[in-house]
Structure 1
């Protein structure tokens, strides 16, 4: 029995259009991800200790860029200073991961990608 015209390989034009749209969206996401990577590299995200005596600056890719330690923090002693620096680093890290996640969610919003739910 001959196939009807336009039936192709078992899926019609609607499926082909969906597939073409999916490829186009994937290319847009890939380009957007490249731009996002460049943007994250240029970002400066600050984290501070709870007492405000230490500030850490990281890129959006979590690369440490700068540490500022106030004289008050220096006078606390080595152990306390170590804890204060760690607090500021954790704060900067959490802010950078939140920023990265939000930017990725914005980039992929509207796409029904498997595993991205």
Structure 2
């Protein structure tokens, strides 16, 4: 019976920490770039786009496809950084709980 109460207590503690982490993650920003910094994307660790910067040299009608590719690459770079940040935060939060590998907790 004490084990169940202990588990429930840990679950409540984890839930509280998860809520705190969600609020924190909403404010963490990561930057992705492509084309040697000609295109930059700033997004939150939760994936919300905050800023897109495009070097004026890319704003030529004949370069539209290149620009589209650079925006996509910058977003992918920022997304990968956001995912790493989230994984690090989750590891710090759940490190001692012995959760199964690959378990996805809701954010």
* TM-score, normalised relative to structure 1: 0.78
User: In the comparison of the two structures, how many residue pairs are matched?
Assistant: 101
Whose relative contact order is higher, 1 or 2, with alpha carbons under 8 Å and at least 6 apart?
Answer: 2
How much does 1:91 deviate? 0.4
After superposition, give the CA deviation of every residue in 1:62-109 in whole Å (9 maximum; x if it has no partner). 011110011233347100001111110000000001111111121111
- Determine the C-alpha separation between the residues in 1 that align with 2:74 and 2:42: 9
Q: What is residue 17 of structure 2 aligned with on the other side?
A: 32
Structure 1 runs of 4+ with >4 Å offset: none
1:90 is aligned to 2:90: no
Give the structure with the higher percent strand: 2
1:72 is aligned to 2:57: yes
Q: What is residue 63 of structure 1 aligned with on the other side?
A: 48
Moved more, 104-113 or 72-81: 72-81
Unaligned 5+ segments in structure 1 are 1-15
Q: What is residue 26 of structure 2 aligned with on the other side?
A: 41
After superposition, give the CA deviation of every residue in 1:3-39 in whole Å (9 maximum; x if it has no partner). xxxxxxxxxxxxx222222111111110011011101
Unaligned 5+ segments in structure 2 are none
* TM-score, normalised relative to structure 2: 0.85
